[in-house]
Structure 1
Amino acid sequence: MVLKRSGNNRRLLAVVSRPILSSAILLLVAGCTVGPDFKQPASPYNPVSWFAGRPHAVAASQPVALPIDVAWWESFNDPELNSLEQRAAAQNLDVVTATIRVAEARSNAGVAASAFFPTVSGQADAFDVKPSNDLGLSSLTGGSSSSSSSGSGSSGGNIDPLQIYQYGFDASWTLDIWGKVRRSVEAGNAQLEASEIDRRGVLTQIIAEVARDYVQLRNAQALLQIAQTNVKTAQNLLNLTQQRAVAGLTNELDVAQEQAQLMTTAATVPQAQQQVAAQINALSLLLGEGPRALQAELETPEVVPPTPAAIPIGLPSELLRRRPDVMEAEAKLHAATANIGVAIGAFLPKFNLLGMFDIQSGSTQDLFSTAARTYILGGMVSVPIFEGGQLVETLHLRRAQQHEAMVSYDKTVLQAFSDVDNALTAYDAEQRRRAALRQSVAANEKALGLAQQRYTEGIATYLDVLTAQQNVLTSQSSYQNSTAAVSTNLVSLYLALGGGWEATFPTPANEGPPNASVGQTLKTAITQGNAS
């Protein structure tokens, strides 16, 4: 639109714009924030102690209500495990992905916050305008008065094209009178917090997975050694049986039975070797490396990391502020609550300040003259009148989403306490099972020795020896698996309690991909976060 510049227009614009600007400023200062304010939800379950109603444990490793060591994996006293944990925190691709999601959420929050500020755009135009010859405007434009003989119905002369050149800028500012933008920013920040907490949850899961896979690797190596030892024992018994058969002290049936026992035992060796290779590859993947990348580092067998005598697990009241999924559920509830305010704000009038300043001329020579100025300054109020039910249903949707987020929070809290209770029960029960299996191994090894002695003396049959061999192999494997289960159950307990409990994620301030320094500063960052 092209407006003529005149003194009357200027006075009218000033009369209109000044009240609009004054009213807008007053509304902005006195603006309110619509919608409910977020309040921290009450926990649906608040136990006083982890040990209430639980029988006193008599196991060698017992949970105690003491402050938790944030770097819990160090309680296993295994330098190799400590090294793997540091590298996993720095290199794991799931952690890198979660870090990228945090950056995405931060950008989304920035997009919401940008609505606080005015928008300004510049433009420059140059174009020709050719009015119709039939408009009778030739006298106004100075065009030729000759008419076209071929144009039927022509009433005016030929009008020359008009050249128009202009440049300038437009500005608009939507005032956040009702706090709709503030609620939108609040929701965006809550979603950002949820993403940051989710990243912490990913890290705690990775830390626990590394510890679990490492324990399983050492267990697989121990089972391989048990199988290899039992193969040697079966080979020695086969040699003895063959010698007795040559001497006529036994028959070929005993030899065949011992050969079958040897092959059965030997068949467990490849299975154990396959499990060792699979666990090494699993650890390599967790560290963001290719298959067999850790082969040389981990192929030497080591014992399953033993559990400490005392397991500090803190107090139940600390769980809700330490477990990532609970904190994430609370942040999502916060975002859902803020979105209700955004939906309510859509019902209310919207106040916009508008401005335009252009330099407009019919020739390039006048593009910098004051006479070529044109501007518009004013305001606009828009009120939704009919939206086909969209605003009402959006508000209903946001309230339902808040209700769903509240139910999800309650369920997450109950699940958290249930996980801890189950983990404590499993840890105690597996220790008692391991104690019984230890006695079973001792008894079966003694029975095998006696069966061999009685068979050599001709008192017992070879079936007694075979049965004793099988019992020894089974009990040794069960005891070894139980030893590993005690350690993995401890890992599960720490995971149920919330993992590493860091409040500051160990990544650079610019949220770039984790680098080598992250693993080195992991414990420091976790400790600082816990202290805050």
Structure 2
Amino acid sequence: MKPNLKIIVALTFLACYSNATSLTALADVKQAAIQVSKSWNEVSQPDAAEPGTVLIGGFPDRQWWQKFQDPHLDTYIHAALQNNPTLNASLQTVAQSRALTAQAFSKELPSVTLSPSAYRIALPDNVKGALPLETPLRLYNLPLQAAYELDLWGKNLDIIRSSRRQAESAELQSHAVLNTVVGDVASAYFNLLRMDALIESQQKNLGLLQRVATLKASQHQAGLLSLDAVLLAQRDAAESEMNLASFRQQQAVFAHQLSILTGSPPASAAQLPRATLEALSLPLETEVGSPGELLTRRPDVLAQEKMLESSRIDVRVARKAFLPSVNLGAMVGAGALGFRNLWDWGNVFNMQSLALSQPIFQGGKLKAELNYRKAKQKEALETYRQVILMAMKDVEDSLSTLKTGYDGLNSSNQQLVLTENSLRLTDSRFQQGLVPKLDVLQAESEQMRYRQSAIRSKADTAIATISLYKALGGGY
């Protein structure tokens, strides 16, 4: 099936399923899907790629982070899967929803209750003489009661179905949380690698600028350079030192963030083992699929779809509340005056009951409940449509950012190569005595600036790749 046809089929299914989506809104969703498909096709055939990247096809699998070929990243993500509080809390939500489903299922089964009781009755004096009984009276009962509601209209069955949809939605939401946590861990890790590389580069650049400022100060003392040039060089060195302090502060922030995401107390950057940004392998996405498939793989989209189904069933349950209910009851047991007489066969009793209950007037409670459920269904429908549109927007943004990232990375690498060639040429002229050492230092400082630009571009591209994985559902 062609991608555009998949989109149309998916959107047609959505329209038929909801039975409440306007033609205008449906056209907007279709237009958004078509735009995403265009961007998808643009990224599926990139113009250029960084040497050494890995080409992969299809949607990301559940362990998409292994495409970066970084064992430290694998370690941090597996730690987060075990220890992340947000993820563990979502798993408890799943357990709660399953327990509520089991609770709802109990309504389809009869209830059996054993209710032993004992009474001590002190009679007034004018009654004691009229009764040939010893007083006070001691009455013992041992009844076994059974009750069952006949689900003639399928109301209890619908409650079970609604609860199951909510449990399925909670499980899908936990997958969405997992996808977010894994993406956040990878982003924090790559940002930490970015700051490592920037700090290393900035330290070298600071040393170069300080040497440049020293040489210019010497030239000024010799009367070869104006004071303005010296002050500018000193200003550049001071600015570089300030940037280095800022980089170290950001490095600490990302280190703390990575520690928290993996369920550990905030740690300093030195305590977190990691690779280098230079050694990082960037996977280049190709043939990632069609937007129509996005509707069947994003966990947040599927979770909201389950909630929409649950709300539809809840409306049906609210309507059936207006119908009569039929309850069956049975009781068997023994009752006697005196505990020893309780076990006599002649004191055994039994009772059966059939009760019909029809709501007549409840102050508008049932009508209000029905209106509430209808409003909740409409809210779930609009939320479902919004989640679909946001999912397509996420993919649209991620594809655009990824394509721009690779373009910027290629451009930065080309500029860095040209700058390195210029540096080699300047150094060669210095070796021949044609230019002063100051020109070499300034060329090295310029090279460091372009190297930092390449560092930022590679880190941005890696994070954009993570965003695309998350937008595609992360293999879930």
TM-score by length of 1: 0.74
2:38 matched residue in structure 1: 52
Equivalent residue of 2:112, what SS?
strand
Instruction: Give the counterpart of 2:63 among 60, 71, 74.
Output: 71
- Note closer, same or farther for the CA distance 1:51–1:59 as it changes in structure 2 (3 Å cut): farther
For structure 1, which segment, 56-65 or 277-286, has the greater mean C-alpha deviation from structure 2 after superposition?
56-65
| Matched-pair contact (CA < 8 Å) for 2:60–2:469 | no
The answer on 1:196 being equivalent to 2:182 is no
- Taking the aligned partners of 1:165 and 1:63, their CA distance within structure 2 comes to 81
- Note closer, same or farther for the CA distance 1:309–1:174 as it changes in structure 2 (3 Å cut): closer
Equivalent residue of 1:267, what SS?
helix
Q: Larger % of helix: which?
A: 2
Instruction: Give the counterpart of 2:76 among 84, 97, 100.
Output: 84
| Matched-pair contact (CA < 8 Å) for 1:444–1:475 | yes
- Taking the aligned partners of 1:322 and 1:421, their CA distance within structure 2 comes to 16
1:375 shift after superposition = 2.1
CA offsets 1:95-142 (integer angstroms, 9 cap, x no match): 1111111111111111111111122221222222234456xx556403
2:11 matched residue in structure 1: none
| Identical pairs, percent | 26
1:121 matched residue in structure 2: 113
Instruction: Give the counterpart of 1:288 among 258, 263, 271.
Output: 263
Instruction: Give the counterpart of 1:130 among 107, 122, 130.
Output: 122
- Taking the aligned partners of 2:274 and 2:248, their CA distance within structure 1 comes to 11
For structure 1, which segment, 360-369 or 487-496, has the greater mean C-alpha deviation from structure 2 after superposition?
360-369
1:436 shift after superposition = 3.2
CA offsets 1:38-70 (integer angstroms, 9 cap, x no match): x85599546479543765641317998635444
The answer on 1:371 being equivalent to 2:346 is yes
| Matched-pair contact (CA < 8 Å) for 1:116–1:176 | yes
- Note closer, same or farther for the CA distance 1:160–1:407 as it changes in structure 2 (3 Å cut): same
- Taking the aligned partners of 1:342 and 1:309, their CA distance within structure 2 comes to 50
1:93 matched residue in structure 2: 85
Instruction: Give the counterpart of 1:415 among 369, 387, 390.
Output: 390
| Matched-pair contact (CA < 8 Å) for 1:109–1:192 | yes
- Taking the aligned partners of 1:233 and 1:297, their CA distance within structure 2 comes to 29
- Note closer, same or farther for the CA distance 1:128–1:83 as it changes in structure 2 (3 Å cut): closer
Equivalent residue of 2:38, what SS?
coil
Which amino acid in structure 1 is aligned with residue 232 of structure 2?
A: Q
- Taking the aligned partners of 2:275 and 2:281, their CA distance within structure 1 comes to 18
- Taking the aligned partners of 2:90 and 2:281, their CA distance within structure 1 comes to 32
Equivalent residue of 1:377, what SS?
strand
- Taking the aligned partners of 1:320 and 1:110, their CA distance within structure 2 comes to 29
1:310 shift after superposition = 4.2
- Taking the aligned partners of 1:399 and 1:221, their CA distance within structure 2 comes to 55
Instruction: Give the counterpart of 1:187 among 152, 162, 186.
Output: 162
Aligned pairs for 1:247-262 (under 5 A) are: 247-262=222-237
Instruction: Give the counterpart of 2:100 among 101, 104, 108.
Output: 108
Instruction: Give the counterpart of 2:372 among 397, 404, 412.
Output: 397
For structure 1, the 5+ residue unaligned runs are 1-38, 144-158, 502-532
CA offsets 1:202-231 (integer angstroms, 9 cap, x no match): 100011111111111111111101111101
1:448 shift after superposition = 7.9
| Matched-pair contact (CA < 8 Å) for 1:163–1:363 | yes
Q: What root-mean-square deviation, in Å, do the aligned CA atoms of Structure 1 and Structure 2 show?
A: 3.4
- Note closer, same or farther for the CA distance 1:41–1:320 as it changes in structure 2 (3 Å cut): farther
- Note closer, same or farther for the CA distance 1:299–1:492 as it changes in structure 2 (3 Å cut): closer
Aligned pairs for 1:94-493 (under 5 A) are: 94-133=86-125, 137=127, 140-142=130-132, 160-292=135-267, 295-298=270-273, 301-303=276-278, 305-441=280-416, 474-493=449-468
Equivalent residue of 1:127, what SS?
strand
1:331 shift after superposition = 0.7
| Matched-pair contact (CA < 8 Å) for 2:153–2:320 | yes
CA offsets 1:439-465 (integer angstroms, 9 cap, x no match): 4445666778999989xx9999x9x99
1:305 shift after superposition = 2.6
Equivalent residue of 1:353, what SS?
strand
- Taking the aligned partners of 2:354 and 2:191, their CA distance within structure 1 comes to 70
Which amino acid in structure 2 is aligned with residue 142 of structure 1?
A: P
1:499 shift after superposition = 1.1
For structure 2, the 5+ residue unaligned runs are 1-15
- Note closer, same or farther for the CA distance 1:41–1:63 as it changes in structure 2 (3 Å cut): farther
- Taking the aligned partners of 2:341 and 2:435, their CA distance within structure 1 comes to 125
- Taking the aligned partners of 2:425 and 2:129, their CA distance within structure 1 comes to 129
- Note closer, same or farther for the CA distance 1:138–1:283 as it changes in structure 2 (3 Å cut): closer
1:508 matched residue in structure 2: none
1:422 shift after superposition = 1.6
1:333 shift after superposition = 0.6
1:8 matched residue in structure 2: none
For structure 1, which segment, 403-412 or 233-242, has the greater mean C-alpha deviation from structure 2 after superposition?
233-242
Which amino acid in structure 2 is aligned with residue 52 of structure 1?
A: K
Which amino acid in structure 2 is aligned with residue 91 of structure 1?
A: N
